[in-house]
Amino acid sequence: DVKVTQSSRYLVKRTGEKVFLECVQDMDHENMFWYRQDPGLGLRLIYFSYDVKMKEKGDIPEGYSVSREKKERFSLILESASTNQTSMYLCASTRGGVNTEAFFGQGTRLTVV
Amino acid sequence: GDSVTQMEGPVTLSEEAFLTINCTYTATGYPSLFWYVQYPGEGLQLLLKATKADDKGSNKGFEATYRKETTSFHLEKGSVQVSDSAVYFCALLNYGGATNKLIFGTGTLLAVQP
């Protein structure tokens, strides 16, 4: 059974903390994505990666960075968490090519207080 | 840049009613198009897809046809059930060389009443 696993389901952090969200996939997929999901705004792409050590900015990269040192793991980093980063964060992965399905993790509900 | 626009919800229907959720897109080239569904408390899962113009994707009674001339991929179902209550996301995947960028719409909440 294919799987994308996010390290935490719920997380509470303080303003100014450095926060790491981890995502691991077991499908040997080339592409991995981080989104945030907010009511009325849908899924907005933060960053994506198409290979180890390769990354591209999505639509809302400000305040975030990413790391992909191994193919199966894609980390989202909030350098200094702020309350406006309180959200649901979703990780996804796809293999390369045009006819490819995205597999999602269960999401991490992050609250910054 | 690439974008997806879908009708705002919530959409509230009675059981056995006909469903349409509109989706239009803007993209360079020839993207693949998808509908994903998110049931309450769960992650997103693929509902159906189409990879070229005039393709029809179908699954679980849902259908959508890739219309290049109108840049649309509207979701339809002839008779909805209470169990179809969920958030539906339209998405496009634009394959550009080595990278695949997957873009979603804002989602449409469907509530089906018995």
- What would the pLDDT profile of A5-24 be if each residue is shown by its tens digit? 999 999 999 999 999 999 99
Taking only the tens place, the pLDDT of each residue in B36-56 is 999 988 889 999 999 989 999
**Subunit contact A94:B32, Cβ cutoff 8 A:** no
Q: How far is CA B38 from the centre of its chain?
A: 11
pLDDT of residue B2: 84
**Subunit contact A41:B95, Cβ cutoff 8 A:** no
Mutate to test the interface with A, among B44, B46, B49, B52 (most CBs of A within 10 A): B44
pLDDT at A52 over 60: yes
Listed in order, strand segments (DSSP E) in A1-113 are 4-6, 10-13, 19-25, 31-38, 42-51, 54-57, 64-70, 73-78, 87-94, 103-104, 108-112
Q: How far apart are CA B47 and CA B36, in angstroms?
A: 5
- pLDDT (average), residues A39-57: 91
pLDDT at B97 over 90: no
pLDDT of residue A91: 96
- B28 vs B65, residue with greater confidence: B65
User: What is the radius of gyration, based on Cα positions, of chain A?
Assistant: 13
- Select from A41, A94, A106 the Cβ nearest to the Cβ of B100: A94
Q: How far apart are CA B62 and CA B48, in angstroms?
A: 8
**Subunit contact B104:A50, Cβ cutoff 8 A:** no
